[in-house]
Structure formats: structure tokens, C-alpha cells
Structure 1
Amino acid sequence: MNEKSKNDRPARPRAASGRPGGPRDRGAKNGDRPQRSHRSGPDRGGPDRAKGDRRPDRGPVKPGRDNDRPKSDEAPARKPLPAGLESRYAALEILDRVHEGATLEDALARTRPFENLEGSDRGFARALASETLRRRGAIDHIIGGYLDRPLPKKSARVMDILRIAAAQSLLMDTPPHAAVSTSVDLANDRAETKGYSSLVNAIARKIAADGPAILEKLPARTDTPSWLWRSWERAYGPNGVKAIAEAHRKPAPLDLSFKPGEDLEAWRDRFVEAGNDARIMPTGTIRMSRISDVSSLPGYDDGAWWIQDLAASLPAKLLGDVAGKRVFDLCSAPGGKTLQLAALGGKVTSLDKSGARLERVVTNLKRSDLTAFLVEEDVLRYRPEEKADAILLDAPCTATGTIRRHPDIPWNKGETTMTALADLQGKMIDHAISLLKPGCVFVYCVCSLQREEGEVQAKAALKRNPSIERVPVRPEEIGGLEKLINRDGDLRTTPAMLSDDGGLDGFFAARFKHKD
């Protein structure tokens, strides 16, 4: 989970209809069914308000708020840019928002120049921003070799222009003249960068000529911040950290999870016929190369599948048979695990404190024609009247296991972030255990490579809570992939695993049972 799920504001109850101000989850009344459920999108009629809920009905929660937008997003409309420059300008603006603290995902969603692009221009801008971040360490090293002294902080945009020039020449097979000329045009576009246009021209030309040979010799460590390298070296050893860093140099493949009963071989054949390199993975997902327009794939409109990394699909499997059981999916957005559990017949309560993120769960449930009860609430404040038969907690974390998908993470996170999140994770674990019926199963998971958020948390939870015991993961539960189980019996994956098949996200999951 993303660190933005931390306790930073009060939450309000959310009905499964997708509207705030609806009834809280009142437990097993009316035949163990929640008062309202979500099936195919927001109920615009509005749910009945819970007793004591004095908040006005504000209508559907909308992603984002105007006062949350970066100031740079308020800039007036610009005159049209020359052909070929729009996508580079959009990538530059995306990087600017990432430097302001936005995630790459948020920057892509809220950058107006990017929103205005279509087709191949949009795909190029996204790829350019992503690759610039993915190989930022190496790119900065190469640029630094051509600078007599570091650029001043006020010239940060000039540095990003040079990074974009380097990414095009070194990583994206852009013709040198195009990479150089468009970068000079970007420098000339603003008064504060125009004075650097000659410098940009000179360095961009040198990078195009000599950079590829330099890049090939740089070690994997170059693209990994020092604090992460040290942490992973302690956890996985010298060879392990090198393998992880190498895996991060490549984008992640696309994994699709399917509803139970779907004919995977038939779906694979359909994807192959559509021109995709699809293959069935041992865990029952289908993997293919990244697709620029996922909505164009067969089965998207029918809701037969949803996007979910192979590793992310495993924690829900550890709950076992959930058919007919009351299941809490805590910190659930964007909803992949909720869809998994609902497809298996679970009576799922999908809880997240972010209304904007819950809208994504609503969208995914509607497209997949599945049912879950949505609650917008802080996990630590959630007090249902009836406890759960099974709980999955995908806790907020540094998300360092998803760097292949989110290359901004190494540059926007730090050790202080991890310390604060580890404290929150411990509190969430203890509270989740208090919501579980005796004899039932609880799974804690994080998409993190940091042991402080995974293995250390699991051991600490057992020490603090004598009412629980560890239930080791069995290979047959995860497609026979025994190598994904650590010595304690917990699930531990890294991007370097299954490298011949494209790797997988870094994940940790531990299963506990509430003793009778």
C-alpha cells in the first residue's frame, strides 16, 4: 500500500453504494448480510443514513480535491507547442510534480499537458517520464561527468531537461538529433531556463555520442539510493541486493487474475490471437508484456479479469476457502484482493480510509459484476458489531516491492518514512486481531522489500499477541512455488525471483490463527 494511507485525517462511514454518509457495517443482521452492498456502481439514489450520523449527504466521493492540487497545476493555458515537443513537455511537467512530492501515478493523473495528449504521444510521454525515473541514478552519474560543478537548486528544471535528453538517447532509441533539438527547445521555452540552452545543447550532444558506452559499464548499484542498498544488502546479502537492483532496471510485465471457472487456456489463446505474448503462470494468472491500452484487451469490458501482479494475488489465497464467510479486506483499494475474495464467494467488507481510492474499487467491482460492502473508514477506528471469519490486512508501507511499476519510489521515500509506517503497521495488526473470531485466520501483508515492515513485524506481532499462532504457508497453496516461502513459513517474494519469467513484485505475507 502507498504511504498516503497513513492516519492523516478523520474518516467517515461509506456505504457499498459508493456514497459517503451511508450506514456503518452493523454486522450479521438480516441473515448475515450487510445493510447495503455494491454490485455495479454508485447508487445515485442515496443510502439511508446511519443513526447518529449527522454529516450531510455530499453525493459521490470524487477523486482528489482542488486544494490538494500542486500549485504548478494552476498555471494558465499555454500556446500550442511545436509538433513533437508536446510529449517531452508533458514528461517534464510530470517530473516536476514528482519532485513536489506526488507519486508518479498521481502526477500522470493530474498533469494537464499529459491529459491533453492522445495515442502514441501519450504513451511516449509516460514512458519517457518512467524511464527517466527508473534509471535516474545512472543518468545523473553520466550528466555529472559533463558538468564542472553541480547546477544550483533554482535550476532544477534544467537538470530535468538534461535527464529527459539522456533518457531518450540512452534508453529509448530516439535519434540523437531529435533528443538534442527537443531538449534545447524545452530550455528555450522559459525565461529561467533559456540561459542554459547552450549548456543543454552541448551536454545532450555528448551524452548521445558517448553515453551508451558509459551506461553499459555502470553497476546496478548506481540506480539504487544508498539507504535502500544498505537495507537490502543486510536482508538479502550481496548477491541478493544486486539481483534486485538489476530487476528494477526493467519494467514489470502485465499479470491478469481471472474469476474462478474461467478457461485459462482459452483466454491465453485469445490474447495470442490478438497479437500478445501470453502465458499461464503456476498460480493461475496470465502474464504478458506491458500493454499501452489495457482496455483494448479481450475480456476487459466483460469483467472476466483484473490487473494484479502475481505476487499480489497470493495473500488472498492464504485465507483458504472463504465461500459464505464474513471477510474483512482492510486497506483494500484499488481492490484487486477484494475482487479475488468476492469472486470466491466471500461476504467481503472492503475498507479503506480514502474515498477517492474507494472509487477505484467501485469501478472494478462494477466492471467485474462482483459484490462487496464498502466502508470508508480508518482501520484503527473500525468497530463492527460482528467479528470476521477471516481478515486480510494489506497495510500501508514504503511499497519498495513495486519499484518496477512505480520508479519514483526510491527518490520519494526514506528511512524516516519507513520508521513511521512500521509503527502504524504494528497498531493495525493488533487492531485487526481484535476484529477476528476465535479459531479464524488473519493474513498480514505488505508490498515491501523491507524486513522491518515484513519479517520483523510478524515476529513482533506474535510476541505482543499470545492469542495468535503462525500458520505456515504450504507450497501447494501458491502454485507449488516453494522458493517463495521463507524459513519461518511466511511468503517472501522479490523482483529477482522467477527472473526467467519476468520476475514479480516484492511482497511479504504472514498467516496467523486466532487460538480457540
Structure 2
Amino acid sequence: MPGLAARRLATDILAKIVEKNRPLDMEFDSRSTTPAFRNLAPKDRAFVRAMVSTALRRLGQIDDVLRRLIEKPLPDKADRVVDILRVGVAQILFLDVPDHAAVSLSVTLTDEDRIAKAWKGLVNGVLRTLARRKDEILADQDAAALNTPEWLFESWTAAYGPERARAIAEAHLTEAALDLTVKSDPARWAAALGGAVLPTGSVRLAGGGAIDKLEGFLEGEWWVQDAAAALPARLLGDVKGRQVADLCAAPGGKTAELAAAGAEVTAVDLSPERLERVKQNMGRLRLPNVRVVAADLETWTPKESFDAILLDAPCSATGTIRRHPDVMLLKSPEDVATLAALQKRLLERVSAWVKPGGALVYCTCSLQPEEGEAQIEAFLAAGAPFRRLPVRPEEIGGLAQAITLAGDLRTLPFHLPATDAQPGGCDGFFAARLIRNES
């Protein structure tokens, strides 16, 4: 039956993420995904991704719908029914799918499962009722609040105020754009690929499609990198001919920036598998001036100090929710505390590897101040032999609203507003630039 295999896979994948805490990226990684997914036509694979990511992004609203339309909670053995309903609701409310197709194929999926088939009538009734009442229900929902875990909403309200916290949550309701960092001539590549040059210099594409089929991919003229993620490496300034370490380097976007700018880069990461991807990317980009090292930064020590270091520390990744909506399910306040402790240790350790007068840029793709501003304040307050060098607007494309009062970089998901031709937004990033004292 056309469309059934895609919906079956979407339901299977959603269950693994919600019930078994499997990361979304792992489910769609070409090395770990199932043969059934790989064997789908490209259009169907894209549809599976859309169903799963939308169900995760809108899970709070979807579960609110189910609470409204199901009188009694379903038993634990009906987990499959809940997942089928979640994917069905996502199609009816948020995807360009005819209601009858979403309902019919959801019922068929339920009927083919030995346990779930007992609730076939319920699935049919709930989804048909939703199709009739969807406008009424959507108008009665607070999407930003429903789709954001309470602890996250409270933390953003405390850090940024209620208006900006809500703007962050609302930005997460839309899928992130596709941004490219180009080696040179952004205007030329924007024209060639049907995109636009952002104020920060990244090229933002309006459409989708297979990345490896786009002009310039095989020639190594650009790489995929969110506009905000492209900013921290720039804070190191002119790195041509300098020895620079990119720590926690995978997947390698910042490594590529530094190497393309002429630095001699040492890229260090804990994961040998992820570093293999970095090597492949550097080969495609024709950037030979990169040395990769698989090592644990808490035990590894370089033979010589570096002129500059970029530490992209492990973090909760709450700044990437537009791209990775599973973060809201997989991360907790306890994770933030654990990661903040690791960040503190790494910052103290790697700072000793910077030459006098050299630069250290600390960054995280987190919206949590414990993983950003608080780390730098504590580091400097403890007497570290560094001083902050404030970020200037002209270094980041005039994005003055992304500079904190202390002079650090803090992008928020609603920065870089949309235009008629281009979607808006960027990842939430923090970066601070520190200079080591000469003596």
C-alpha cells in the first residue's frame, strides 16, 4: 500500500527515540539506520524524516490532543497505538498530508499489529474527530509552552526574560534552514545555489534536496554549517600560518574554517569514528593542513603549546533544538550540571596549552548560562591568567544584538529574522574570547 512503509518506519523510529532514548541523528545515520529505511525512495526517506522530526518538535501539542480526545488513558501494552496516533496527529495537524490518507494508513498500521489491533476503532475515531476539529483545537493551544519542557522554559525565562524565552520556544517550532560556509565568494555561490548571503557571510538556501548533489559539493567549495556555528572560529582573527587547536572538533565545520583560513590545525576529538568523518570532509574540501588526534582531553597533553585554541566543549546542545528536537526529550537539568562540571575541568586544563599572548575561544551550542556565561565568569574570577577580549559587531556581520554586556557572543534561535525569500533563525551559541597574559 503506497505510503504504508514510510509511516511504519516513522512509527518505529519515533518509538525508539521517545521510549528508548535513541538520538535522532543515530536513527538516520547511514551507518546505523535499518535496511528498510535505506531501501526507500529518496522522497519517502524525506517523508519519514519529516514525520519523525515534526512529531518530536510538536510532541507537547500532539499529546495534548490525545488527552483531549481519548477519555481513558491507554494501558502500557498499547505503546504502539500511542506512537501510531502521534505520527497520525503530526500528519493531520502539521504536514501537507490529506486527512483521509493519514487516518486510513494509521488504521491499517494498527490492524497489522497483533496487540495494537484491538484499538483499531479508537485510532480511527480519534483521528477522524481530529480532522474535523483541528482548527478549533490548534486555536486553543499554547504551542510554545506545550512543546517546551517546563524546566527549559523556566531556565530561559530566568536567563533572558519572559518575552525572549517565549521567542526562543516559538523559534523551535520551525525547522532550521540549510546554511553553508563557503571558501570564497559567497555571492557567487548564493546565486548558483538559489540562496542568499546572510549578514554574517554564510549562504542560506531556501530549498532542500540531496546535499551531495548540489553544485560545488564534490569540488569541496563549501560545507554545511549553521550560521551561528560559523562565528566562534572567526573570533580567533587572522590565523594564517599559526598553530591552532580545534578541541572537540567533530564533525569538523570549525576545523574546516580554520584550515581554509590558512591555520595549521590540530583537530582533537574523543571519538575515532567521528574523526574519520572529519578526515573525509577535509579530503573533500582539499584542506591538507589538518592533523587529527583521537584522544580524551582530560588525559591527553600536546607536545607543544598552541598560538590559539578553540574549545567547542561538550554541552547539552539546547541551542540546536531546531535541528535536533529530540534534545528536549533526551536532556535534563542533571545533564546540564554534569556537563558544566566537565566544561570547567576542560577549560582549566586546555587553557594551559595556550602560548602567552595567544587566544582561547570557549564556545558551546547551549542556551543554558551554566554552560556559557557562568563558566567564563568563574574561570576569570578564579584568577586564570587571561583577560576577555570583547567581540565587536563588525566581526560577526553587524549582529550587535548577539553581543552580551560583558562582550561575549550569545546568539539566540530567533536572531537573523526571516525575509520573504529566506527562513530566519540560527542556532543558540555562546562564545567568549580570552587572551593569555604575556607573563
Q: TM-score, normalised by structure 1?
A: 0.81
Alpha-carbon separation, structure 2, partners of 1:180 and 1:432: 55
C-alpha distance after superposition, 1:425-460 (max 9, x if no partner): 000100110111111100000001111111111101
**Structure 1 letter corresponding to 2:187:** E
Match of 2:232 in 1: 315
Match of 1:147 in 2: 70
1:492 and 1:509 in contact (8 A); partners too: yes
Alignment of 1:345-494 (within 5 A): 345-371=262-288, 372-494=290-412
Alpha-carbon separation, structure 2, partners of 1:265 and 1:308: 17
Alpha-carbon separation, structure 1, partners of 2:417 and 2:376: 27
SS across alignment from 1:350: strand
Q: TM-score, normalised by structure 2?
A: 0.95
SS across alignment from 2:230: helix
Alignment of 1:57-456 (within 5 A): 82-99=1-18, 100-109=20-29, 110-112=32-34, 113-219=36-142, 220-259=144-183, 262-272=184-194, 278-371=195-288, 372-456=290-374
Alpha-carbon separation, structure 2, partners of 1:94 and 1:363: 28
Give every structure 1 segment of 4 or more consecutive aligned residues whose post-TM-superposition deviation is greater than 3 Å.
none
Alpha-carbon separation, structure 2, partners of 1:442 and 1:355: 24
Alpha-carbon separation, structure 2, partners of 1:364 and 1:195: 50
Per-residue deviation at 1:96? 1.9
**Structure 2 letter corresponding to 1:102:** R
Per-residue deviation at 1:83? 2.6
Per-residue deviation at 1:111? 3.2
SS across alignment from 1:512: strand
SS across alignment from 2:163: helix
Alpha-carbon separation, structure 2, partners of 1:139 and 1:184: 18
1:94 and 1:111 in contact (8 A); partners too: no
Deviates more, 1:140-149 or 1:334-343: 140-149
**Structure 1 letter corresponding to 2:342:** L
Structure 1's unaligned 5+ residue stretches are 1-81, 273-277
C-alpha distance after superposition, 1:130-154 (max 9, x if no partner): 1110111111101110112222333
Alpha-carbon separation, structure 2, partners of 1:284 and 1:352: 27
SS across alignment from 1:442: strand
**RMSD between superposed Cα atoms in Å:** 1.2
Per-residue deviation at 1:408? 0.7
Match of 1:66 in 2: none
Structure 2's unaligned 5+ residue stretches are none
SS across alignment from 1:145: helix
Alpha-carbon separation, structure 1, partners of 2:156 and 2:305: 38
Per-residue deviation at 1:411? 1.0
C-alpha distance after superposition, 1:383-428 (max 9, x if no partner): 1110110000101111000000001110111111111001000001
C-alpha distance after superposition, 1:79-99 (max 9, x if no partner): xxx332011011112112212
**Structure 1 letter corresponding to 2:40:** L
C-alpha distance after superposition, 1:309-358 (max 9, x if no partner): 11000000001111111101000000000000000010100010011111
Alpha-carbon separation, structure 2, partners of 1:304 and 1:494: 28
SS across alignment from 1:384: coil
C-alpha distance after superposition, 1:11-38 (max 9, x if no partner): xxxxxxxxxxxxxxxxxxxxxxxxxxxx
Per-residue deviation at 1:123? 0.8
Match of 2:436 in 1: 514
Alpha-carbon separation, structure 2, partners of 1:396 and 1:376: 15
C-alpha distance after superposition, 1:110-133 (max 9, x if no partner): 331322212211110111101110
SS across alignment from 2:357: strand
SS across alignment from 1:345: coil
**Structure 2 letter corresponding to 1:463:** A
Once the two structures are aligned, what percentage of the paired residues are identical?
Answer: 46
Alpha-carbon separation, structure 2, partners of 1:183 and 1:281: 41
SS across alignment from 2:69: coil
**Structure 2 letter corresponding to 1:142:** V
**Structure 2 letter corresponding to 1:511:** R
Per-residue deviation at 1:290? 4.8
**Structure 1 letter corresponding to 2:287:** L
Per-residue deviation at 1:225? 0.7
Alpha-carbon separation, structure 2, partners of 1:464 and 1:350: 28
**Structure 1 letter corresponding to 2:392:** R
1:94 and 1:108 in contact (8 A); partners too: no
C-alpha distance after superposition, 1:371-391 (max 9, x if no partner): 210000011112111011000
Alpha-carbon separation, structure 2, partners of 1:402 and 1:168: 24
SS across alignment from 2:164: helix
SS across alignment from 2:339: helix
SS across alignment from 1:149: coil
**Structure 2 letter corresponding to 1:506:** G
1:392 and 1:443 in contact (8 A); partners too: yes
Deviates more, 1:208-217 or 1:387-396: 208-217
1:142 and 1:215 in contact (8 A); partners too: no
**Structure 2 letter corresponding to 1:105:** D
**Structure 2 letter corresponding to 1:407:** P
1:229 and 1:241 in contact (8 A); partners too: yes
The one of the two structures with greater contact order (alpha-carbon pairs below 8 A, sep at least 6) is 1
